[in-house]
Structure formats: C-alpha cells, structure tokens
Copies of this chain bind each other. A is one copy, B any other.
Amino acid sequence: MGRIKLKIQRLEIMKARQAKYLKRKRGILKKAKELSILFDVEVVLLLSSTFTKPTFFCWSRPREGLYNGGMSRYPVLN
C-alpha cells in the first residue's frame, strides 16, 4: 500500500509517525463504521496513543424501551 511496503514494526521516526498514524486511524475508523452499518454489528473502538488525544468510536443497535439507542450515559458494570 502506498509507495513502499511498510514493515509492521514499531515506528521510531517521530516525524513520519504522527502523519502515518492519522492516516491509518482514519482508515480503521472508516472500516469500523462500515462494519457496523453493513452487518448491524455493535462496535467499540478505543485508540490511545501517547502523542495525540485518544479516539473513541462506539455504535450500538437501538433497543426497545430505551430512550437513547442503548448508549449508557455512564459506564456500567453488570
């Protein structure tokens, strides 16, 4: 993919790191969204890096008897 195949190992060059991360983050977020829509799958995706703000994606099916589509306002342990 791209001009050169990128070997899957930790990227140490910080300059390139952030730009690449942004591109790939967008890519996986798009995939997650497509998956949730295509297959009606509930998806939770959390990405936490040391160099940018964390990213959170969450999609859930609507549930009967719930006002907000089943999304909890606060985290719940059952």
Contacts and interface: CB of A to CB of B under 8 A. Distances in A.
B49 A46 contact: no
Chain A interface, >50% SS class: mixed
A39 interface: yes
Oligomeric state, in number of copies? Answer: 2
A9 interface: yes
Interface string A38-63: 11111111111110000000000000
A31 B20 contact: no
Contacts of A17: 39
A31 B34 CA distance: 14
Interface of A: 6, 8-11, 17, 20-21, 24-25, 27-28, 31-32, 34-35, 37-50, 75, 77
